[in-house]
């Protein structure tokens, strides 16, 4: 079992070529999926259940590895705090270490963060990254700035849908991709989460040649930064298909980008959800040339 050493930052590890391989995302052809790398906890304020209950659930689901991936956001003006504060990162991390000790013979537990891109807060976000030797970092874009507040683009609640209409969907698409691109460039992370989540509430956004080009550019950047792409199974519940869409996965595979599978669990019984759909999906995508 390899974990990042305390005090080492990702950039150093990249230099020595030892980063990312710390958590092995490799999917073996024909193998059953036994790793779920996107699991939240009660500490983000919108998930339920003790961390130990997630571990128990992962063990009874037959997983060999699980990755907690808690929300970290800075400078977001939203009606509720849906993420961990800088101080709470330590509470979460230390509880995770205890569980790792307690359950170590049954399951490998990884502790990571889902970092919300906010371009004016890169320095503060890096501080959270460096606070603990996280096993993995997922990059996401959740909050669209709409003065004086932020809109959660991943949420299906009316709190967000009306302001989004006022903001303008086409404009949101532009800002979403611009921000992702700049964020991936600025922050060293392990994988990109729920890449096309904007289509959750707006399935009719047309994938124009321009949008396709943007998606391809971002995938090329993901590949250049040696990141993986997440297959997020919460999409099956939200829109009948994983995030991101299959054609994006096929494109990523052509570029040699590895996949990470995550359930985005916000309750213990969501661990490994829809994994039975992902196994044939990965086989299919990998068979595409």
**What is the binding site for Zn ion (CB under 5 A)?**
114, 140, 264
Q: How far is the CB of 36 from Zn ion (least distance, A)?
A: 12
H or E element, residue 228? strand 228-232
Q: How far is the CB of 72 from Zn ion (least distance, A)?
A: 11
Which CB atom, from 140 or from 242, has the smaller least distance to Zn ion? 140
CA 161 to chain centre: 22
Which CB atom, from 1 or from 48, has the smaller least distance to Zn ion? 48
Which CB atom, from 73 or from 264, has the smaller least distance to Zn ion? 264
Q: Closest-CB residue for Zn ion?
A: 140
Which CB atom, from 19 or from 270, has the smaller least distance to Zn ion? 270
Task: Determine contact, residues 274/242, Cβ cutoff 8 Å.
Answer: yes
Q: How far is the CB of 61 from Zn ion (least distance, A)?
A: 18
How many Cα atoms occupy the beta-carbon half-sphere of 249 within 13 Å? 23
Which CB atom, from 61 or from 140, has the smaller least distance to Zn ion? 140
Q: How far is the CB of 114 from Zn ion (least distance, A)?
A: 5
Closest alpha carbon to 129 in 121, 218, 197: 121
Residue 231, token pair as written in the block? 């297959």
Q: How far is the CB of 38 from Zn ion (least distance, A)?
A: 6
Which CB atom, from 114 or from 188, has the smaller least distance to Zn ion? 114
Q: How far is the CB of 206 from Zn ion (least distance, A)?
A: 24
- For strands 143-146 and 149-152, give the pairing: antiparallel
Compute the distance between CA of residue 126 and CA of residue 123 in angstroms, rounded to an integer.
5
Distance separating the N- and C-terminal Cα atoms of the chain? 33
Query: Could you give the C-alpha distances from 48 to 20, 28, 40, 122, 270, in angstroms and in order?
Result: 29, 32, 9, 29, 11
């Amino acid at each position: 079992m390899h974990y990042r050493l305390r005090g080492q930052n990702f950039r150093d590890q990249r230099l020595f070529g030892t980063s990312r391989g710390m958590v092995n995302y490799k999917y073996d052809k024909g193998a059953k999926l036994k790793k779920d790398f996107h699991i939240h906890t009660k500490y983000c304020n919108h998930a339920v259940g003790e961390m130990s209950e997630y571990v128990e659930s992962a063990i009874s689901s037959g997983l060999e590895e699980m990755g907690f991936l808690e929300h970290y956001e800075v400078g977001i003006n939203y009606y509720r705090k849906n993420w961990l504060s800088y101080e709470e990162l330590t509470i979460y991390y230390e509880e995770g270490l205890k569980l790792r000790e307690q359950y170590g013979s049954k399951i490998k537990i990884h502790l990571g963060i889902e970092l919300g891109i906010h371009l004016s807060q890169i320095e503060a976000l890096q501080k959270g990254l460096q606070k603990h030797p996280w096993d993995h970092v997922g990059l996401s874009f959740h909050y669209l700035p709409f003065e004086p507040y932020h809109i959660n683009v991943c949420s299906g609640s009316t709190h967000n849908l009306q302001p989004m209409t006022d903001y303008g969907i086409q404009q949101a698409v532009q800002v979403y991709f611009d921000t992702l691109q700049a964020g991936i460039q600025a922050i060293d992370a392990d994988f990109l989460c729920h890449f096309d989540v904007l289509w959750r509430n707006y399935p009719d956004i047309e994938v124009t040649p321009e949008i396709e080009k943007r998606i391809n550019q971002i995938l090329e950047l993901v590949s250049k930064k040696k990141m993986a792409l997440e297959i997020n199974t919460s999409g099956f519940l939200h829109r009948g298909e994983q995030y991101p869409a299959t054609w994006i996965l096929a494109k990523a595979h052509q570029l040699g980008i590895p996949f990470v599978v995550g359930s985005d669990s916000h309750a213990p019984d969501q661990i490994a959800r829809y994994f039975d759909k992902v196994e044939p999906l990965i086989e299919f995508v990998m068979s595409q040339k």
